[in-house]
Amino acid sequence: MMPELTIHLYADGADVRDMIAARSGGIVKGFTTNPTLMRKSGVTDYEAFAREALAAVSGMPISFEVFADDFGEMERQAKKITTWGESVYVKIPITNTKGESAIPLIKRLSAAGVKLNITAILTLDQVRDVVEALDPKTPAVVSVFAGRIADTGVDPVPLMTEAAAICRKKPKAQLLWASPRELLNIFQADECGCQIITVTSDILKKLTMVGKPLEELSLDTVKMFFNDASAAGFKL
């Protein structure tokens, strides 16, 4: 049984069939995509995919990322993407590939009423700069890649807790725990004060494990080892 959580689960991916399944499951509250996931799913026509995805999610929040490296072109793409629907958030990377800050662009777009999802954030200084740049009247998502922080051997929980406190300075800014590595991250993100966590289809499938008695899981594990050894026909 899934316990009561404040946090919203957003499905992360670029397979429209998975989006439809996630929406039908009634657990997720929104969706995110990115160019890497789209490429892995074989997407070749960006806007055609986006239109199909919008139809699949039926008005739930969904983020589409700009894919330029020049800030002027990012701005043009953002202004086009935002016209695709009321539920659309435009993903802007915190820097371009040269390491140049996107903060001036974020400030302009947020002031113009464009709902943003600022992505690839990994430091508290980046969180502070983004929150400072956001217009208080415009909804936004601040995506901190907690999973990538953990990949460096650093516990992301204290950082995410502080990031949540920073984001509270702008009530329409929601903190997103990005790149989770395991189901436990959902509960950690909720305790940290994040409003959103992205989840892959693999993590969504593990939700059935929540609350399962550990003794029962232990027995299931023993049975799995025994059955696999039998199926392999091992002999000594």
Annotated domain spans of the chain: 8-232
CATH of 8-232 among 3.40.50.300, 3.30.70.100, 3.30.40.10, 3.20.20.70: 3.20.20.70
| Beta partners for residue 142, in sequence order | 118, 175
Question: Residue 207's pLDDT band (boundaries 50, 70, 90)?
Answer: confident
Q: What is the DSSP letter of 179?
A: S
For residues 137 and 157, the answer to whether their CB atoms sit within 8 Å is no
pLDDT tier, 201 (very low <50, low <70, confident <90, very high otherwise): confident
Question: Mind listing the pLDDT tens digit for each residue in 86-139?
Answer: 999 999 999 999 999 999 999 999 999 999 999 999 999 999 999 999 999 999
Question: Can you give the pTM of this predicted structure?
Answer: 0.94
**What is the rounded CA–CA span in Å between residue 191 and residue 160?**
10
Model pLDDT, residue 2: 56
Q: Which residues partner with 140 through β-bridges?
A: 116, 173
